[in-house]
Structure 1
Amino acid sequence: MSKLKGEDIKHEKSAYIIYCQKGGRGKSACEKLLAHNPDLNIYNISGGINEWVNEGYNVRKGEKSILPLDRQVQLSISTLILVFCALSLTISTAFIWPIIFIAAGLFVAGATGFCGLARIIALMPWNQRV
């Protein structure tokens, strides 16, 4: 999303289909592109590729296979919590503070829909499409 720019679309008369796994980022991308250039002919797959498959449409997967972003976030958070729990039990109770920080981040993500960790992980090299 951070690299997405409306001026990069050269053919305004062409139709573009924007999609993601669950539909949320695709919708945000469409809104961002249309805010920059309202004349673009853009469509979002509502519900993303997951909904597309649930409706019985075929999907051909590319060669690159990585975990979905939400699972990468879940694995990162659970690993951090396990490490800091082990550290707080074995080395110092001060390691409880990172766990509290992580819990606060999860609360904010759940309450607002904004997940800073997901934004950071999305920028990682393995998540970049070339």
Structure 2
Amino acid sequence: MTAENISPATALVLIEQGARLIDIRDADEYAREHIPAAQLYPLASLEQGTTLQTTANDVVIFHCQSGNRTRNNLSRLITAAAPAQVKIVEGGIDAWRQAGLATVEDKSQPLPLMRQVQIAAGVLILLGVVLGYGISSAFFLLSAFVGAGLTFAGVTGFCGMARLLAVMPWNRR
């Protein structure tokens, strides 16, 4: 079985005709902004074997932030939605927003955790370089430490900075 890529406008028409829209992003991303008709099924839950209750007559449309996660996990999504027809929103919620279609946005929600990690890592690396040139070359070790941590996270899938940021007061729900 294959999936068809569709535009946000086509997706909206299909949703109005009864198709299910499934958001596979993480819960923190969904809380910050989502498409009104979207149901949250994070990719992690689908990886654990969660399946959608569908029939062969159903149409299930998947989306993520930019379309990359949906493309990279297409076989898993097709399996989770079987036997329904599977469609993918080309460009994800970013394309949906660019098409001028409505989203539900809650700016009071914290930034998605991975964006927080990117910001924190970038600031720490920049700080290490600036302090290394301005005060003492020992501060370059800060940049090296953060770089090593990011490499470790990429290789193992464990991100200590993400775990630390997740328990910060602004991320508690």
| TM-score under structure 1 length normalisation | 0.57
When residues 101 and 15 of structure 1 are mapped into structure 2, their CA distance, relative to the original with a 3 A threshold, is farther
More strand by share: 2
User: Is contact 1:21–1:50 with CA below 8 Å preserved after alignment?
Assistant: yes
| Shift, 1:52, TM fit | 0.9
Write the distance in 1 (CA, Å) between the matches of 2:76 and 2:52: 16
Write the distance in 2 (CA, Å) between the matches of 1:40 and 1:76: 41
1:27 matched to 2:27: no
Residue 5 of structure 1 is matched in structure 2 by 47
1:46 matched to 2:87: no
How many equivalent residue pairs? 120
More helix by share: 1
When residues 96 and 66 of structure 1 are mapped into structure 2, their CA distance, relative to the original with a 3 A threshold, is same
| TM-score under structure 2 length normalisation | 0.46
Pairing partner for 1:17 from 45, 58, 61: 61
Which segment is superposed worse, 75-84 or 96-105? 96-105
- Identity across the alignment (%): 27
Q: Unpaired runs of 5+ in structure 2?
A: 1-42
Pairing partner for 1:67 from 107, 111, 126: 111
Q: Which has the higher contact order (CA 8 A, sep 6+)?
A: 2
When residues 101 and 45 of structure 1 are mapped into structure 2, their CA distance, relative to the original with a 3 A threshold, is farther
Deviations along 1:36-92, whole A, 9 cap, x unmatched? 7764533221111111121122223368633246643431222211443365354x5
| Superposed CA RMSD | 4.2
